[in-house]
Chains A and B, each alone.
Chain A
């Protein structure tokens, strides 16, 4: 575990540094800057220049970049330009809601994919196999904004079972919070669940064709135990890798899904930040996303080595 971290941490930090550089540059390549956006369309060039120098945007790019990194490392990220308030507070406000949404979706991904994969890989009935295949293909083909609208139409408008949008804290009103969470989480989870189900199904099928499954069969081990205890553990490592990659999809998808269901998360904040060219907000948020993603990859690799003993010793 420690050797693993020692080996992987430097490259993870390097990824973060490169990402910070890319995030910083890309934002500045977008036409317009916070000063023009703050000053409004009718402002005189002098006003814009004054705001610009006040924000430090007239300084060379490198010193702006260094200043940003310095603030990040010191822990005091500073105020936003356009949205108002401290960046840390803005992110703090949305972080809880977005975490709820992505973790909820992640859980659903596993809960949907696992049974689908096991059934798809082990069923002897052709119709069942065909249904699994159709479901995973169909869900993959429909983008979240379509499923979102369909879900709202069915469950909120027609049946009136679930609220069409909004958010409640899990800590304050758990059962209400789950009702709010249900549709956005399902909407976000479905495409990733389809991807994971396909990989896992392939993995289980491959494992079931292996010689060690024949050994277990010859020993009289029951079919159910062979699937869950012998084949599944062999299919898990590569499925975990796919799941780790899907976390990126979930974060990206959250921006869209939050918009559909009026979910007060970071997606709304990032959208606001980009439109109003609020450099600090967007920079810090994107870097946070990269950091989360890098952490997830580290955890994935750690889980992989834990699940496959052959890697552990090499």
Chain B
């Protein structure tokens, strides 16, 4: 097979810091390569460096990226532009922000087509644009060229991103976290689309992801990156079954497996009497004429010391339910009772919320101590001295140094910030913790730590936890019971292991089928892939 992309000793510096350190690989026509790593590993920087599109401050300080006989690392800007999108194309992570909101999809495809003067006339470009949309599976492709990005769903927007990248039949397609913002079933569709394109058009695929499952499903070979270096490389099946580097082993161990039974029962035993009782909860948004019903008659019981996992896709009503439970907005129908008492509109000290995004949910201008003390002030608990003592106690409880109370959120890592968020929720001594996607923004290794923390807090404080997440493997691991939401309704509730192993509702089965497994699905071409992997092992660090 002919080599289309040959990366040697690629090194990227930001000032004096080295983000990518001597990365090398070879990519043959039609090949697939995954680059896996956690945040800060340099995988996304590597992807951007392939097209020399580094953010300001970054530069390729050594090495080469050879494509079509030219070195992209040293090519003049105009010559480089002629290659981008034509010989090497890129699909970005966030399809919401990566498409221009004020231009129609037709215009954006047209821009991609005319970027490399292929001599197509307007009508021809229009036809080609419709063909591309059709290729990525957008129904009524020709009719939808006039629509703007906001008229498409998240999954469709990612398809459009892929269509843009395919405009000129590039030899290499680089996909940087192509499914991270998407629901599992949509993720599955996008991964299948990428695989299909790789097989049908022979475009070589480079997939960058933090998710080993995604890489396993799409790539025959993979690189494991850490701190800017490649620590392990090889055929995907080989690396998964027989990891050589300790870091790869660590990474594999931290990935929650869907087939592992729940650990919740071993952690704590739920009480008999429900703590939180939700009956017939409904929530409708909008005016009477144009309304959206986000919740339909939701029934829910949460017992002390119990973790109830809540899964469902975006728009299923999970977050609306969470907000209703903490009293952030009033439900349109039904009741929420705490220990048999109807909860009114006053702030609910007993029910606290942990947010998804540890970056935007902490005020950057407040210190950690002020952030944690805020709910104490809101509920009128303690005086200045007692609050300071409580803050120190809470910081210790979530595994942070009490001496860090004076620091601002930016001084903490993502995982530490989520610990701060948990400490803030624990401050007014709640008995119910609502965790809305508490680990989905975190790396797997950090994710495992935060999950352990929540389990320990439950054991020590007897907390009832509503654990909202889209990752079924994590949910199974931490939950006693799982409730599945779909279209504003709870379609299934049951013991965690039973829901995963013997789902009763077809939608649950559909969700389960969409989870990428760590068993390599690509059995056929594995042998040839291994040969290529061995061939390129020369450049292993």
Contacts and interface: CB of A to CB of B under 8 A. Distances in A.
A217 B82 CA distance: 11
Nearest to B151: A313
Given A214-B53, A234-B100, A309 B115 contact: no
Interface string A213-227: 011111111100100
A9 B375 CA distance: 46
B102 A220 contact: no
User: How many interface residues does chain A have, given as a range?
Assistant: 20 to 34
A218 B85 contact: yes
A70 to B, nearest CB: 39
B140 to A, nearest CB: 18
Contact of B112 (A221, A229, A237, A310): A221
Interface string A200-219: 00000000001110111111
Interface stretch (B2-10, B91-99, B498-506): B91-99
Given A215-B92, A310-B148, A310-B150, A220 B97 contact: no
A174 interface: no
A214 B84 contact: no
Interface of A: 210-212, 214-222, 225, 229-230, 233-234, 237, 307-310, 313
Nearest to A229: B111
B101 A218 contact: no
Contacts of B103: 229-230, 233
Interface of B: 51, 53, 81-86, 89-90, 92, 94, 97-104, 111-112, 115-116, 148, 150-151, 161, 164-165, 167
Contact of B84 (A218, A308, A313): A218
28 contacts: A211-B92, A211-B98, A214-B53, A215-B100, A215-B161, A217-B53, A218-B53, A218-B84, A218-B89, A218-B92, A219-B84, A219-B85, A219-B164, A219-B167, A220-B82, A221-B85, A221-B111, A221-B112, A222-B115, A230-B103, A233-B100, A233-B102, A307-B102, A308-B101, A309-B148, A310-B148, A310-B150, A313-B151
A218 B51 contact: yes
Contacts of A313: 150-151
B101 A310 contact: yes
A234 B149 CA distance: 14
B150 to A, nearest CB: 5
Given A219-B164, A307-B102, A308-B102, A212 B97 contact: yes
B148 to A, nearest CB: 4
B516 to A, nearest CB: 25
Contact of B115 (A212, A219, A307, A310): A219
B92 A309 contact: no
A234 B161 CA distance: 19
B249 to A, nearest CB: 35
Contacts of B85: 218-221
Contacts of A217: 53, 84
Nearest to A219: B85
Contacts of A234: 100-102
Given A211-B92, A220-B85, A234-B100, 7 more contacts: A214-B53, A215-B161, A218-B90, A221-B111, A222-B81, A222-B115, A309-B148
Given A234-B102, A310-B101, A221 B115 contact: yes
Contact of A215 (B86, B102, B116, B164): B164
A216 B90 CA distance: 10
Q: Would you list the 4 A-B pairs with minimal beta carbon distance, nearest first? A: A220-B85, A219-B85, A220-B84, A211-B97
A215 B99 contact: yes
Nearest to A237: B102
Contacts of B150: 309-310, 313
Contacts of B99: 212, 215
Contacts of A219: 84-85, 89, 111-112, 115, 164-165, 167
Nearest to A213: B100
Contacts of B89: 218-219
Contacts of A211: 92, 94, 97-98
A199 B437 CA distance: 38
Nearest to A222: B81
B511 to A, nearest CB: 29
A224 to B, nearest CB: 11
A221 B107 CA distance: 13
B100 A212 contact: yes
Contact of A220 (B81, B148, B151): B81
Nearest to A308: B102
A221 B111 CA distance: 7
A250 B119 CA distance: 47
Contacts of A229: 103, 111
The interface centre, meaning the residue of B53, B100, B112 with most chain A CB atoms within 10 A of its CB, is: B100
B379 to A, nearest CB: 37
The interface centre, meaning the residue of B94, B111, B150, B167 with most chain A CB atoms within 10 A of its CB, is: B111
The interface centre, meaning the residue of B53, B86, B115, B148 with most chain A CB atoms within 10 A of its CB, is: B115
Contact of A214 (B92, B151, B164, B167): B92
A214 B174 CA distance: 14
Contact of B97 (A210, A218, A230, A309): A210
Contacts of A237: 102
Given A219-B115, A220-B115, A221-B111, A230 B100 contact: yes
Nearest to A226: B111
A68 to B, nearest CB: 40
Nearest to A212: B100
A247 to B, nearest CB: 24
A214 B95 CA distance: 12
B81 A215 contact: no
B101 A212 contact: yes
Nearest to A233: B102
A217 B94 CA distance: 16
Contacts of A215: 92, 98-100, 161, 164
A269 B83 CA distance: 64
Contacts of A230: 100, 103, 111
B112 to A, nearest CB: 5
Contacts of B111: 216, 219, 221, 225, 229-230
Nearest to A231: B100
Contacts of B82: 220
A202 B227 CA distance: 36
A165 B49 CA distance: 61
A199 to B, nearest CB: 17
A309 B90 contact: no
B101 A220 contact: no
Given A211-B97, A214-B53, A219-B111, A309 B102 contact: yes
A78 to B, nearest CB: 46
Nearest to B99: A212
A313 B102 CA distance: 12
B98 A220 contact: no
A230 B99 CA distance: 10
Contacts of B116: 220
